[in-house]
Chains A and B, each alone.
Chain A
Amino acid sequence: GAVVSQHPSWVICKSGTSVKIECRSLDFQATTMFWYRQFPKQSLMLMATSNEGSKATYEQGVEKDKFLINHASLTLSTLTVTSAHPEDSSFYICSARGGTGGSSYEQYFGPGTRLTVT
């Protein structure tokens, strides 16, 4: 089946620094990638949707200058949390959809990245 990887799986950083999270579709080309954030005991909240080669579409309330998304190829999207603060500590999950080798309707989720900002 279609596999999505994320790196790193967990990261601890100091307040004010930036962190980059990578999301890769390993065996299919993802025309669309999604970034979600999940706080403890809450559901997944969509942060942004990105299509390869175009600017990401951010959900209301998500700061595009703080959460930089780059979808440079059909197999890679990155999320950079700039000037991270403790309230940005969360579980970040990417998912990918579409293209050859993957179902057109199903979203395949990465394993998630746990970010802790101290």
Chain B
Amino acid sequence: GQNIDQPTEMTATEGAIVQINCTYQTSGFNGLFWYQQHAGEAPTFLSYNVLDGLEEKGRFSSFLSRSKGYSYLLLKELQMKDSASYLCAVRDRRQLTFGSGTQLTVLP
């Protein structure tokens, strides 16, 4: 089975940087994903890490340490539209399992 932990809520200010952490325990790790989900909508893909290190994609970066079972999503230059739930998801050989999500609120 899999166990995925991430903070329930975070608040940050527009223009700031925020880091959302995710820890996981899994048998048969096959990649870690970050998704963004706005209320009432389906998740949208943000990033994918399968090897250790940092993946950068514009304002968003994601880091993975497989030995520590740890990942983080870094959001820079926060905008109001970044207010959403951020889901960490871990894939094993068979399926993708989602964490409970971190609700990020960006304040003006």
Q: Which residues of A contact B (CB under 8 A)?
A: 34, 36, 42-46, 49, 91, 93, 105-112, 114
Contacts and interface: CB of A to CB of B under 8 A. Distances in A.
B43 A44 contact: yes
B99 to A, nearest CB: 6
Interface residues of B, number: 21
Interface of A is mostly: strand
A45 B43 CA distance: 13
Given A43-B98, A107-B33, 12 more contacts: A34-B96, A36-B98, A43-B99, A43-B100, A44-B87, A46-B97, A49-B95, A93-B42, A105-B48, A109-B43, A111-B41, A112-B40
Interface of B: 31, 33, 35, 40-45, 48, 50, 87, 91, 94-101
Nearest to A4: B42
Contact of A112 (B35, B42, B45, B95): B42
A115 B48 CA distance: 30
